[in-house]
Structure 1
Amino acid sequence: MANTKKNSNDNMPNAHLHELFVDELRDILGAEKQLLKGLKKMAGKATNEMLKTAFEEHLAQTEEHAERLKKVFESIGLTARGKKCKAMEGLLNEAEEIIEEFDGSEALDAALISAAQKVEHYEIASYGCLVTYAKLMEHAEAEEILTTTLNEEKETDVKLTEIAMSEANVAQ
């Protein structure tokens, strides 16, 4: 029998994942909102124009990611509500330390890329798990939305690596 209430645990496949899925959605929504402030600061500190532009582009993308997450919540019949992400808080605190330590240094942009890639890898891991949970619970709309964001996070990571290898990590 088909389940008409999308967020009911009773009849959905792999219903044991539902609470974890919702908790992880709340965590990554909080993380995306926290990241907005961090990306503004990183963009402001970057000295390389390509890197500054990459941070600014990812800032706009991050705003879109938060909006997409609201659609994911809607798709499973819930109101979007984030929670403080302790992992993102730690990653952004580390980025802040890096900025303080390397501000004015030729290595600042390389340090910013390092901090940003740590954030990207956290997001890639989080979205990867969410895509898997959505797929296993047959939340097709959520899976599609989350996959789009996962792919953008991966593209950002590749872009940061390219900037590091061609610009920030090499002596000019």
Structure 2
Amino acid sequence: MKLHNQVIVSLRDMLLIDGKKIVDVENNIEEVLPEWISKISSKILKEELEHYLSDIRSHQKEMKDCEKNDSSIPDEYNSRIVKAYLDEANDKLSACADAKIFDAYLIYAIQAINHYKINIYGTLATYADSLGQQKTAEIYHKAMLDEKVSDMRLSNIAERNINVIATLTC
């Protein structure tokens, strides 16, 4: 997204702009995740991603408290990066001929997006903290920790279950 006539002059500007970016990221993931979940063959992975979807919805609700009205900041942000992640994931997922391989790749795809989100949430928490916006910092920090927990849980599911099963198809 090009910021039309937008000059970034402060950390507050960055907080507002990147706050809108993470909202867009979460909205895009929330849109695609139910379809992906419907195609999962692993019960444990399906349950974990349903929990992850619940976390995303919780983050979206909490972030509404962080939004500030400022006419100099665009109302919308279209994250090209998350769209690229999702496009690539959809291309590869549609090419998976085996359900076990689909599940294994899906974990990879979600973790790639998850790592991007950890970066954004951590940065936003730091910006908000630096600006003395403690409540906002806490919301972003909690979201970052939720993402880290999800990442760890997905890694454990991959290592102990999904990837083990997927290797049997080789």
Q: TM-score range by the shorter chain?
A: 0.7 to 0.9
Pair 1:95-2:92 in alignment: no
Pair 1:158-2:152 in alignment: yes
2:46 aligned counterpart, secondary structure: helix
CA shift, 1:19, in A, is 0.6
Pair 1:57-2:48 in alignment: no
- 2:27 match: 33
In 2, Cα distance between equivalents of 1:101 and 1:32: 25
Pair 1:140-2:118 in alignment: no
- 2:112 match: 118
- The within-5 A match list for 1:5-84 is 16-73=10-67, 77-78=68-69, 81-84=75-78
The number of residues matched between the two structures is 155
2:139 maps to amino acid: I
1:142 maps to amino acid: T
Q: CA RMSD in A?
A: 1.8
Cα deviation 1:131-150 (Å, max 9, x = unaligned): 11011111111001111111
Contact 1:99 1:112 in 2 (8 A): yes
CA shift, 1:106, in A, is 3.0
Cα deviation 1:23-59 (Å, max 9, x = unaligned): 0000100111111122112211211111111111111
Q: TM-score, normalised by structure 2?
A: 0.85
Gaps of 5+ in 2: 1-8
2:66 aligned counterpart, secondary structure: helix
Q: TM-score, normalised by structure 1?
A: 0.84
Query: Relative to structure 1, is the Cα distance of residues 57 and 40 closer, same or farther in structure 2, using a 3 angstrom cutoff?
Result: same
